[in-house]
Structure formats: C-alpha cells, structure tokens
Amino acid sequence: MTVLVRDFRTEDAEAVTALRRVCVPHQVVTEELVLFGVATANPAKKYRLLVAEEEGVIIGTAHTGIAYDSAEPGQSFVTPHVHPDRRGRGAGSLLLRTAEEHLAAEGATEVYVWVSDEASSLAFAERRGYRPTRGAHFQRLDLAGAALPEPPPLPPGFALRTAEDFANNPRPLFEADAESTSDVPSDISSELDDYEDWLHHTWNDPTLDRGLSTVVVSADGRVAAFTAAVTDGAATYVSGMTGTRRAFRGRGLAKLAKSDSLRRARAAGYTDAFTSNDGENGPMLAVNKWFGYEICASEVRHVRTLG
C-alpha cells in the first residue's frame, strides 16, 4: 500500500481532528481549531498542515512552520503524528522529510520536534539525525473526582477577575502574557511583541474560554497573574498558560488563579483537566503537584541542523 503526503484540505478537518485526539488525548483539538490554525496563520510563519494518506484514509498529520516570533532567525518546528495502528508504514518518515524540505526552502537552519519518550519514538528521531535537548511532562487531574486543596487566601488589595472582563481592552493581558512567556524555559525563545498578532491568534483562539480564564488584579488595577483556560466545550479542560508578572512573584498568585479556574471549570461540568510543563520549570511543576496532577505522558524535544 502506498502512503502519500499532501497539504490539508478543508474537508479533512473531521479526520484530522479524530486522528490528533487519538495521538494526543491530553490536548484540546476541535475541528474549529484545526480550521482556525490553517486560515489565520501569520504569513511569516510559512505554516503548512500536512496529512499522510493511505488508500484515501488519513493516517498521519504534521504541522510545521517557522518560529517567526523568535529573536534568533532560522528556528523552525514540525510536529508529526501517526495513528498508533498505522505506524511502521513510512508515514512518519515521509511527513518529516516533506516538512524539512519545506522549512529548508524557507530559510530554516534548525528544526525542532517533540517526540514521545517511548523507546521506538526516540529511536525514530535518532535515526533521522535528531538529538535530544529537553523534556516536558503532560499531567492529568481527575477534575470530577479530585478533592481540590483549599485555595490560598487572596492577599489584601487583590481581586479575581476573568479574561472576559478584559473584552473591551485585552492589552493588559497581552502584556502579562508577553512577560511571562519570555521567562518560560524553552529551546526557542519567544518574543510576544506584536499585539495585533496576539489578538489574532491567542485572544481569538476558538478554544480559549475567557469566562474560565482567571486573572488576578492588583489594587492599582494591574494584571498580576493569570491562567488561560482552553476547553473543548464538553469535558476537557487544559491550562493553556499560567503566569505571574515579575513584580508580583512569590505571593502564590499563580496557584490562586489556577485554583479559582479549576473550581469553576468543575462547576461547569468539565471532568478532565490537563496541563503541561517543561521538565526544568520547577515552580509550575510544584504548583501542579500541589493540585494533585499526575504525569500521564512525557515528551523529549529534539533538534536537527538543516543543510
């Protein structure tokens, strides 16, 4: 049977969504999100969503592009997924090679890929010239059955809001997100310095639940901390990003924001909560352990020099 790789078509959205839910059950994937990612990608990203097809059935996908918001030029990424029952047929290799050729043509010098920590996946990456750089952990919380710890007290002068309260002017959230993101450990630095781009791709993300995203506001009205809630609108809740501005760290505000958001998500009927952290992000790993999250999957980031 012949496997071919081609670009995504609108009519593929249902099949791609179903496949990615099998491959990454700890992430939120919806048809709307898949279509949104393709339709709204920044031109500088050179984004492509590839699909691997066998006898008319989509058995793998890969999204790939340039890390256009990195301060270091030439950085790029590819994230391939192949259905567990269809591996060993060459789909992964073909997806990866097609993505690498695309990235090289767009001027990329290094390509990063997340790989499951399963021995077979690590061996796959090594055979193709990739070397490991860092690890990350996905964690799950049984939101329906967990006994959530009592939230820390709200410090005097601080108040809890939601992202929806900033609908008329989300710039304060952008500024908090930009500062927090710049401090997250990563191989690819990310500089959020384009407000319009952030509005387009983060604020307008169809899976961002602004009502469940908690914001901690200081007495003078500044955003001190926040947690962004990403949901499938049904049962799955994912912490998209949690951050505290530097001037407010060490007061437990991130823990407070997550606690409020998780409790409201449970009240709204969500049953599974997921989050992920870089293996070197000790503070957030400790916060999530306090909530009762348990590691459900791990990945290792790899890099390969192109050319």
- What is the extent of the structural domain holding 223? 141-297
Q: Do both 165 and 47 map to the same domain?
A: no
Burial pattern 95-106, b for ≥16 Cβ within 10 A else e, equals bbebbbebbeeb
Does residue 133 form part of some domain? no
Rounded CA gap, 107 and 46, in Å?
A: 10
Q: Do both 276 and 182 map to the same domain?
A: yes
Residue-wise pLDDT tens digits, 105-156: 999 999 999 999 999 999 999 999 999 999 999 999 999 998 999 988 999 9
Does residue 208 form part of some domain? yes
Q: Do both 195 and 97 map to the same domain?
A: no
Pairing status of strand 236-244 against strand 272-278: parallel
Tokens of 305: 């020099």
Q: Do both 96 and 165 map to the same domain?
A: no
Does residue 211 form part of some domain? yes
Q: Do both 76 and 163 map to the same domain?
A: no
Q: Do both 275 and 207 map to the same domain?
A: yes
3-state secondary structure the chain: CCEEEEECCHHHHHHHHHHHHHHCCCCCCCHHHHHHHHHCCCHHHCCEEEEEEECCEEEEEEEEEECCCCCCCCEEEEEEEECHHHCCCCHHHHHHHHHHHHHHHCCCCEEEEEEECCHHHHHHHHHCCCEEEEEEEEEEEECCCCCCCCCCCCCCCCEEEEHHHHCCCCHHHHHHHHHHHHCCCCCCCCCCCCHHHHHHHHHCCCCECCCCCEEEECCCCCEEEEEEEEECCCCEEEEEEEEECHHHCCCCHHHHHHHHHHHHHHHCCCCEEEEEEECCCHHHHHHHHHHCCEEEEEEEEEEEECC
Q: Do both 208 and 161 map to the same domain?
A: yes
Would you say how long the chain is, in residues? 307
pLDDT at 221: 92
Does residue 115 form part of some domain? no
Q: Do both 175 and 58 map to the same domain?
A: no
pLDDT at 280: 79
Q: Do both 150 and 274 map to the same domain?
A: yes
Domain harbouring 99, CATH code: 3.40.630.30
Q: Do both 254 and 151 map to the same domain?
A: yes
Please state the domain count of the chain: 2
Q: Are 12 and 59 in contact (CB under 8 A)?
A: no
pLDDT at 118: 93
Q: Which of 101, 125, 104, 105 is nearest to 113 (CA)?
A: 125
Does residue 98 form part of some domain? yes
Does residue 131 form part of some domain? no
Residue-wise pLDDT tens digits, 142-160: 999 989 999 889 999 999 9
Does residue 277 form part of some domain? yes
pLDDT at 66: 97
Spans in the chain with pLDDT lower than 50: none
Q: Do both 94 and 233 map to the same domain?
A: no
